[in-house]
Structure 1
Amino acid sequence: MEKNISWTFHTDKNENDTNSTGERHSLGCVQIRIPQELFLALGLISLVENILVVLAIIRNRNLHSPMYYFICCLAVSDMLVSVSNVVETMFMLLHDHGLLDVHPGMLRHLDNVIDVMICSSVVSSLSFLCTIAADRYITIFYALRYHSIMTTQRAITIIVVVWLASITSSILFIVYHTDNAVIVCLVTFFCTTLVFNAVLYLHMFLLAHVHSRRIMAFHKSRRQSTSMKGAITLTILLGVFILCWGPFFLHLILILTCPTNPFCNCFFRNFNLFLILIICNSLIDPLIYAYRSQELRKTLQELVLCSWCFGV
């Protein structure tokens, strides 16, 4: 059995494998094999990391702010990828070792659930990256009005709306997965959010220095520095997201533009490698949170030490 996301393919997978075997050899097409155990190991590590991030934000009252609420939701989005990967991999390993007899109907339902989780993850992750970028933008350019603009109630409302929209759209995407419009919507959403974030970050970094000169008081200057640090953190998160999810979206674009082209088929054959990159994104994000936030890093250390002591 090979990992697969059903809504990323519009043709029969086995048929493609048979028809393109000769072309693959003639073109020197290389297919990288990823062991199922690697999927499981990375998924479990990522799941534990993101659970710790969520617990740290819940536990530390100093992290109870809109930005960290959004980061917490971003961690939950990463958890969706990790959970879906762990569940699918365990089913595959049990099936491959003859310990589980998976009926076709059950496997189809499992694929649909996993597809919804992964789709919800990418839609919610992009949405929360945009939300955090907007939050940092308000912090920098509307510092004196920030607490009146981004209230806790407003942040919670945004979170609820994003999750409802992500889950609803993901279900619709899976239901109508055979329609090219679904892939067009996903790719368009991906490109739109990237442009939105790029414009916001460019404006922040170009004008933040000029804006900071107008704020002479020490405590406000310190606030400005903290806000810029948050903006840099989110820039790193966005960059890692593009690197890890980019091949997956390129895969979707190629499905639309050249589904039968031999060179595109070579790219399609490494879909498992793209899934590994997506899991790596979920694994790397918590490390970025911890590295860039001393308060979060301290809380994570306390959680790990307490868990270790309790285990001992």
Structure 2
Amino acid sequence: MELTNRSRLGPSIYHMELSPQDYFMEDNETNSTAGERNGCVQIRIPQELFLALGLISLMENILVVLAILKNRNLHSPMYYFICCLAVSDMLVSVSNVVETIFMLLNDHGLMDVHPGMLRHLDNVIDVMICSSVVSSLSFLCTIAADRYITIFYALRYHNIMTTQRAVIIIGLVWLASITSSILFIVYHTDIAVIVCLVTFFCATLVFNAVLYLHMFFLAHVHSRRIIAFNKNRRQSTSMKGAMTLTILLGVFIVCWGPFFLHLILILTCPTSPFCNCFFRNFNLFLILIICNSLIDPLIYAYRSHELRRTLRELVLCSWCFGV
């Protein structure tokens, strides 16, 4: 079995292109030619680009995690959740780097990969990817809820969102993400798996949209009460946090949207010529997913002066010279 493209590493949701029976197709070139005759445009992406973007994304998110751990001013529930979001992005980066390295080694004849080994590797990678998407969506919802509490229950925030509760929430999210991902991979041939993923994606978007509407439409009225208690600085900081989350969610939708549209089309029109053309650019959707992991740390740094300062110190290694 050859690793000619990323959709042939094994049976999984992440690599699903047309239908379960297409996983190990040996006539990709024939299908590609037929697609071109039908007017389909297939964008070919070199493996080296996957590897480069994966490594950059991995380094960026490692820096974010180290910065939050290093700076005590960032030891708060919101930054704990952001740290976990960075870890979720790291799962995408690590899985992409490992997968690409195996594919490049195999393509250049430097490693003879046994099909059984491929299947095990693919299952591990798919669990990481599914854990990433489930945990990312969960932590985006958690951050939204945290900002909501900060804005509307400012005086009680530290009693409601304690460090202990934040740690419990983080543990539950990771446990649920890993467990559900393993179940998704075990039952990958069941169409219910795709339905569950798409439903979860839509449900989290609705949840965040409801919170955002309430926050941004009523924040102005509520801010007067906050100011009356001389807490205007907290209000400003909370709204800035809400805006940061809005940007993060928007980038997530743009980068992951085509992948979930891919899953929806598998359910609705797996044999349609138009859908088949869409399926052929699956690698482009993977690049967008990796770009999400690469862009998120830039958003954190741009929106937070404290985090940006700590990241600068890490990059320049200022602590090593006592600066």
Q: Tell me, yes or no, whether TM beats 0.5.
A: yes
Cα shift at 1:308: 11
Cα shift at 1:268: 0.4
1:107 is paired with a residue whose SS is: helix
Cα shift at 1:214: 1.8
Cα shift at 1:122: 0.2
Task: Deviation per CA, 1:220-275: give whole Å up to 9, x if none.
Answer: 00100000000000000000000000000000000000011111010000000000
Alpha-carbon spacing, 1:94–1:54, altered in 2? closer, same or farther (3 Å): same
Cα shift at 1:18: 4.0
Given the alignment, which residue of 23, 29, 33 partners 2:36? 23
Matches within 5 A, 1:55-134: 55-134=66-145
Cα shift at 1:121: 0.2
Matches within 5 A, 1:1-312: 8=13, 14=26, 18=30, 21=33, 24-26=37-39, 29-217=40-228, 219-306=230-317
- CA separation in 2, counterparts of 1:101 and 1:310? 47
- CA separation in 1, counterparts of 2:28 and 2:134? 29
- CA separation in 2, counterparts of 1:283 and 1:173? 26
- CA separation in 1, counterparts of 2:209 and 2:60? 28
- CA separation in 2, counterparts of 1:85 and 1:138? 36
Alpha-carbon spacing, 1:24–1:199, altered in 2? closer, same or farther (3 Å): farther
Task: Deviation per CA, 1:34-53: give whole Å up to 9, x if none.
Answer: 00000000000000000000
- CA separation in 2, counterparts of 1:90 and 1:41? 11
- CA separation in 1, counterparts of 2:161 and 2:29? 52
Moved more, 14-23 or 160-169: 14-23
Unpaired stretches in structure 2, ≥5 consecutive residues: 1-12, 16-25
The answer (yes or no) to whether the contact 2:76–2:163 under 8 Å persists in 1 is yes
Cα shift at 1:309: 7.2
Alpha-carbon spacing, 1:227–1:155, altered in 2? closer, same or farther (3 Å): same
- CA separation in 2, counterparts of 1:295 and 1:146? 21
- CA separation in 2, counterparts of 1:307 and 1:83? 28
The answer (yes or no) to whether the contact 1:24–1:266 under 8 Å persists in 2 is no
- CA separation in 1, counterparts of 2:290 and 2:238? 29
- CA separation in 2, counterparts of 1:263 and 1:35? 24
- CA separation in 1, counterparts of 2:41 and 2:248? 30
Which residue is 1:3 aligned to? none
Moved more, 216-225 or 288-297: 216-225
The answer (yes or no) to whether the contact 2:151–2:239 under 8 Å persists in 1 is yes
Alpha-carbon spacing, 1:172–1:206, altered in 2? closer, same or farther (3 Å): same
Cα shift at 1:58: 0.2
Aligned length, in residue pairs: 300
Task: Please give the TM-score of this superposition, normalised by the length of structure 1.
Answer: 0.92
Alpha-carbon spacing, 1:199–1:9, altered in 2? closer, same or farther (3 Å): closer
Alpha-carbon spacing, 1:99–1:311, altered in 2? closer, same or farther (3 Å): farther
Moved more, 300-309 or 41-50: 300-309
The answer (yes or no) to whether the contact 2:92–2:132 under 8 Å persists in 1 is yes
CA RMSD of aligned residues (A): 2.1
The answer (yes or no) to whether the contact 1:244–1:280 under 8 Å persists in 2 is yes
1:99 is paired with a residue whose SS is: coil
Cα shift at 1:114: 0.6
Task: Deviation per CA, 1:71-109: give whole Å up to 9, x if none.
Answer: 000000000000000000000111111111100000111
The answer (yes or no) to whether the contact 2:14–2:129 under 8 Å persists in 1 is no
The answer (yes or no) to whether the contact 2:313–2:319 under 8 Å persists in 1 is no
- CA separation in 2, counterparts of 1:308 and 1:61? 15
Alpha-carbon spacing, 1:288–1:220, altered in 2? closer, same or farther (3 Å): same
The answer (yes or no) to whether the contact 1:23–1:262 under 8 Å persists in 2 is no
Cα shift at 1:25: 3.0
Task: Please give the TM-score of this superposition, normalised by the length of structure 2.
Answer: 0.89
Alpha-carbon spacing, 1:179–1:60, altered in 2? closer, same or farther (3 Å): same
1:33 is paired with a residue whose SS is: coil
The answer (yes or no) to whether the contact 1:24–1:262 under 8 Å persists in 2 is no
The answer (yes or no) to whether the contact 2:251–2:292 under 8 Å persists in 1 is yes
The answer (yes or no) to whether the contact 2:14–2:126 under 8 Å persists in 1 is no
Cα shift at 1:307: 7.6
